[in-house]
Structure 1
């Protein structure tokens, strides 16, 4: 034993205080377990500190700025100016409020919070390197790994490289100024969301995506309204393109991009690398504990979130599946309830929403028509355009739609896709409908307030049933 080394006996130890970890800790504590929560950096993890929350704060401000500048269409005019440092300070205040609230919840529920770097030294032991060179050996009965993920790197574009001009999403949320020219490598959710926000703040934005199109995880027709908006706002989309190098030039950083039309040089003040995320499992000593990890660093778990080692659980971005905060939260609850031996504790992720907080927003849940057909269903779809929705027109947002995917034989709702304002909120109703296994007819029979964007879901159900009210012609039917 070295100087400053102590030993702790723990009932439940949770590694990582992000949305999966802190929720697991709170749920386990409320179920009567003595919980120790270990965090390397800041309570709230990536999501609350440098991810979901601060990005949505900036996106909301960018949206308001855009709407104010579009006011002439409604007979409104104003001199609108952006105080970017003040906006960043406000965003930081939002983060402090939420992380401070989480810390109070942890303390109020008796969760012991420790800070430092933890790694396994056996199937029932951890070693914690605390600040100040203190070392703690922790013997536990059960453990939950919730260490999250980090931005993936791109060869030739190291984070912090070229004098700090190559950045990840973390740095992009705390820039000191709005860059005149921003090149984004990666047209996934992070690249599109932050690209549109900075374009609205005044940056000249280019998004470079290696796949056939931006947001390749989503159906192509969902993206058409968004593509039109991005291009109308001056964002250049380079698809089927890849960055092959960069160099300092007289005009800032020069990024060399290989496109289908040939090589191009892009001048940039900053280069945001947004090519995905990697699980934080490589420094945990999981092999010492006997926990199986695949070639990409993901931990295999069963439907109770337990690994191949009894008593060790894993949740969030370290397990296979979509790296979504709300999925991590759900998994954290399952793991805590499984440890507390609660009946029925099991993960069921057939209705996990995915949202792009762009403008217009894009949201999906459940199966697409292609996925349902591949699964053997006799698929029927019903779609309602926002151009026929009164609330959408009053908002000046008629470009988008709601589409329902159902089983033509049973009438069960299998999935839904939404494009338009408030899609991130409307998808909750449709997620509940998919989770409950309701029939599309039930959605049509549910009276929706008028005028609302949510009415489009009811109208799409009417179309699915072959009883459209506010549209002519056929916007759906059984897939052939």
Structure 2
């Protein structure tokens, strides 16, 4: 009988979990990972990756419709929703298989089933509803010196907005529609809500977004959020802020929503489908946390910057350990956690240096403090801005709408935050993330030579603008 004891067992094979397991194996730990649904987790199978495949199809469709702007012609442009979804699922499947290969390559045992903490260093694994992939270990009791919980999160359900998989969707149903709905209500304007609003609108759906807060994309800099709203509304997306959906009445093939606005008025509107995108909650149910005494706060596991919980030998990383709920945060958090277990003294997680990206059209990306947060912190600041219309590459691409914004400490020159909206900004933001990690000041950024013609030149110009040295506006 195979040995069921390990140095490290990771519960959950999403991006945080499987990356942690790989780093654990690299460090010489005997490692296993427990999964019940799919290797790669929500991100790879139903989140980050397949949504980007959907958005890419929408982006290509958008450019085909704009062919005349580029001196080209395209006639009878159309799309096949089934084929669009099939491509997205194929991308997810390819990467799912890749995670399985990585587990095998790194000699990580995959245990298939649902995990529950069963006492100090012990885990009971019960059978999963999903068929076990070839080569995985069977359910049973396993033991480990270190147990890392990486169980992720699931869509939040609000009373009255309960998804039914037919008329009221979460992101699961929104990613695999059988056909394009004629109209769509998106409840919530975070990254998930805005990405789906952008996708469906681009393909021709009449989209309305309702947000309870005063601005869409609430975590973003207010100036960037305002520009995003103007662009989305100009495209034809209807946006209601400081409003809430108080009731949904389901018909045979549509939903009538009661929408209440800040002035106390309410109106009823009918939509073919509704997407509930009001956030996520941690997957902590049924893990045995309470019995073991693991502290939880607001539906999440309380952990320190190294992933340690209040119970020795139990750790938590990723979405289940709290915001920001991003795959790259989970991955880095997992590496910090396992390297700390090894005694390598890694740097603790600095959440201000975690970039956020929204892949709507136009794209949005940011890192660090917003202008408002910097002021709230009592910092004297210098703010630089550079518009896409002043950049040769942006004009050549036919993408002249956008902005790069940088925020510096006026006394030290420290880069406090960077915020962007426009074409390919999700690929540009890493430059500012690297700069912040290197504790770069405005002087180093000014002396950096950016290649021409590129969109990245706007990053340079934004820095120059903060210090009254901008060239091209």
- TM interval, short-chain normalised: over 0.9
Q: 2:35 is matched with which residue?
A: 39
Q: 1:298 is matched with which residue?
A: 300
Distance 1:132 1:464, change over 3 A: closer
1:126 aligns with 2:126: no
SS at match of 2:113: strand
**Which whole-Å CA distance do the structure 2 matches of 1:70 and 1:232 have between them?**
16
Q: 1:478 is matched with which residue?
A: none
Question: Pick from 286, 290, 293: which aligns with 1:287?
Answer: 290
Q: Is the contact between residue 111 and residue 139 of structure 2 (CA under 8 Å) also seen in structure 1?
A: no
Q: Is the contact between residue 213 and residue 243 of structure 2 (CA under 8 Å) also seen in structure 1?
A: yes
**Which whole-Å CA distance do the structure 1 matches of 2:220 and 2:345 have between them?**
36
Structure 1 residue 285 displacement after superposition: 0.9
Q: Is the contact between residue 209 and residue 239 of structure 1 (CA under 8 Å) also seen in structure 2?
A: yes
SS at match of 1:122: coil
Q: 2:92 is matched with which residue?
A: 95
Describe the superposition over 1:145-169 as per-residue Cα deviations: whole angstroms up to 9, x where unpaired.
00000000021122216xx211100
Distance 1:350 1:214, change over 3 A: closer
TM-score (norm 2): 0.94
Structure 1 portions without partners, runs of 5+: 472-480
Matches within 5 A, 1:72-471: 72-79=68-75, 80-131=77-128, 135-160=139-164, 164-249=166-251, 252-260=254-262, 262-294=265-297, 296-344=298-346, 346-471=348-473
Structure 1 residue 466 displacement after superposition: 2.1
Once the two structures are overlaid, the 10-residue window that deviates more, 67-76 or 297-306, is 67-76
Q: Is the contact between residue 124 and residue 289 of structure 1 (CA under 8 Å) also seen in structure 2?
A: no
Pairwise CA RMSD: 1.9
Distance 1:412 1:103, change over 3 A: same
Distance 1:303 1:248, change over 3 A: closer
**Which whole-Å CA distance do the structure 1 matches of 2:300 and 2:267 have between them?**
36
Q: Is the contact between residue 379 and residue 406 of structure 1 (CA under 8 Å) also seen in structure 2?
A: yes
**Which whole-Å CA distance do the structure 1 matches of 2:444 and 2:210 have between them?**
43
Q: 2:20 is matched with which residue?
A: 24
Describe the superposition over 1:30-55 as per-residue Cα deviations: whole angstroms up to 9, x where unpaired.
11111110012000001000000011
SS at match of 1:326: helix
Q: 2:135 is matched with which residue?
A: none
Structure 2 portions without partners, runs of 5+: 131-137
Distance 1:107 1:314, change over 3 A: same
Q: Is the contact between residue 167 and residue 254 of structure 2 (CA under 8 Å) also seen in structure 1?
A: no
**Which whole-Å CA distance do the structure 2 matches of 1:121 and 1:202 have between them?**
51
Q: How many residues align?
A: 464
Q: Is the contact between residue 113 and residue 139 of structure 2 (CA under 8 Å) also seen in structure 1?
A: no
**Which whole-Å CA distance do the structure 1 matches of 2:450 and 2:129 have between them?**
59
Once the two structures are overlaid, the 10-residue window that deviates more, 410-419 or 428-437, is 410-419
**Which whole-Å CA distance do the structure 1 matches of 2:433 and 2:406 have between them?**
11
Structure 1 residue 192 displacement after superposition: 0.7
